[in-house]
Structure 1
Amino acid sequence: MGGHSCPECGRAFKSKRGVKIHHVHSHGVSLVTAECENCGEQFEKRSQRKYCSDDCRRADSSRGAKSQAECASCGEIFEYYPSRRSGKYCSPCYADDNKETVTRLTETANPRWNGGKRICQCAVCGERVERYPSQIGETVLCSKACHSSWLSETFTGEGHPNWEGGGNGDYGRGWRTVRQRALERDGYQCVVCGRTSEEMGRNPDVHHITPVKWFIGSDNHTREDAHYLENVVSLCISCHRKAEFGKIESDFLKSQITDEESN
């Protein structure tokens, strides 16, 4: 029936677990499978247990203690934890199961040696720093402060990967007038969230629903054509940012203007 049998009655089972369950239910005691390494008493072994009880585990004075031995290779006295193998080699001399002497390849003896650290100059402050060749790129920086300064100078304007030509410069004639009229029409408050100039501590931004750059790039329009009252709307800083990134639809902004004019 199976490859495992009960040592008491000889009944066969498919697994060791079946034998253990049978032994408990039929014979009233657990199946003995191991011998305690401290007291020698037999017990049912579970997992990797070596002791029949916690008391025996704590009572075993040799558990965890180190022994001393003389290295068979270099003659040095070293400490090791007892195991099934006796200690014969110290750590520097131990290589593998064949007990070969380790050859330590350091610096020039190592085939991967590339010269060690090199002296470099910080691109921001000029401080001399040591860096491994693998840490040396196009720019060497000595500290977080210099790194932040370098980022601020490098990734601005045309140096930024998302640079699209910068601002639109002078908005031209008519902008100041239409801006003031938009603020007055909207009551000096954001038409989306309703925050007032008093709450913001400043006047709202005035946003072009159809961007000025569209008019600049058009062959049939000029920059000044963007400045008409139906194309501008008052927004707080947060809503203005959302509108610039397309998170507030242009049609919604136009509807807010229509609603205000109808009121």
Structure 2
Amino acid sequence: MRIHHSHQHDAPLPNRTCNGCGTEFYDAKSRLKYCGDCNPNTGENNGNWKGAKDVGACQLCESEFTYYPSEKKGTYCPECVESADGLLPQNSTTKNRVSVSCLYCETTLEVYPSRAETRKRGVFCDSDCYGAWLSENIVGENHHQWEGGDFDYGQKWWRVRREALERDDYTCQHCGISKDEIGRNPDVHHVERVRDFERTEKAHTLENVITLCRSCHRNVEAGNVRNLRP
């Protein structure tokens, strides 16, 4: 219902009621007690209120600039910080970093040594490179759910897969991301594993498959998301 409402009306269903005015509103984490108009921590009461900025003088160019009082006292104006390109101690962007290559696309990255040392599978540019690397390398006996042997999904699978995508409007049924946002067709996941069926064809039913984006699919396969049904 929430996914349908979001796509049809371009807005999520309200899930909270304001304690101040009684207006219903949506909060992604379902924690807020007040809407934006009634929140006692907004406006002048918020340390980051845009009208509460202080004025300081840059120690390099002596020009005046504004900063939020919740931040440390301003030392350099934004223009001087940007032109310093990481040379100032307060804006050191490359200090103590090492150069490594993305394990998938081989792009050179500047990372902290701790990141390079703790990533057991290597360092990647982003989740796309990591996902592509997983798809090519964590397969067969290298996959945590590998049980040995090869099997054929059969021709019925492609028909059921297409029907599942159409039924789910080419949208991930866990996070709600669409085909257009992904840039390709989402995955279609078997709720009950194909290997658990005596006949492969019996696993390929609309009641046993659900559309997921690649990220959610990996989380489901890893056991991080449970009780997901079409």
Normalising to structure 2: TM-score of the pair? 0.37
- The higher-RCO structure (CA 8 Å, 6+ apart) is 2
